[in-house]
A and B are shown apart, each in its own frame.
Chain A
Amino acid sequence: MPEAKTMENYTTLMGALASTIPIIQVRPRWVDALASKDAILGVQVFQHTNCTLQIQTALVPEGPWTTIASFTGSTVTTKYFTSREDGTNKFDRYLRWQLDRNAANWKTGFKLEVNVL
Chain B
Amino acid sequence: MANRLVQQLRTPSIGKPDSSAATGEGESTLEALLNFQPYLTLLVPATITELILACKGWIDGKDNVAYTMEAQVLHIQNVTLHVESAPDREGPWLDAIAFTATTKTMVVLSSEGGSAKFSRFIRWRAEGDGANPWEICFRLKTMPGTTLDRAVQKPRVA
Check whether chain A touches chain B (CB < 8 angstroms): yes
**In the bound complex, how far is the Cα of B95 from the Cα of A6, in angstroms?**
26
Q: Are A27 and B17 interface neighbours, CB within 8 A? A: yes
State the Cβ distance, A71 to closest chain B Cβ, in Å.
Answer: 13
B-contact 0/1 string along A30-54, CB 8 Å cutoff: 0000000000000010110000000
| Chain B interface size range | 10 to 19
State the Cβ distance, B39 to closest chain A Cβ, in Å.
Answer: 10
Select from chain B the residue with minimum beta-carbon distance to A11: B40
Select from chain A the residue with minimum beta-carbon distance to B48: A46
Q: Are B43 and A9 interface neighbours, CB within 8 A? A: no
A-contact 0/1 string along B32-51, CB 8 Å cutoff: 00000000111111011001
**In the bound complex, how far is the Cα of B14 from the Cα of A31, in angstroms?**
23
| Chain A interface size range | 10 to 19
Known contacts being A12-B42, A46-B42, is A6 close to B23, with CB within 8 Å? yes
Q: Are B45 and A9 interface neighbours, CB within 8 A? A: no
State the Cβ distance, B47 to closest chain A Cβ, in Å.
Answer: 7
State the Cβ distance, B134 to closest chain A Cβ, in Å.
Answer: 9
Q: Are B133 and A47 interface neighbours, CB within 8 A? A: yes
Instruction: List 4 tightest A-B contacts by C-beta distance, closest first.
Output: A47-B43, A28-B19, A12-B41, A46-B44
B interface, CB within 8 angstroms of A: 17, 19-20, 23, 25, 40-45, 47-48, 51, 54, 56-57, 133
A interface, CB within 8 angstroms of B: 6, 9-10, 12, 14, 26-29, 44, 46-47, 74, 76, 107, 109, 111, 113
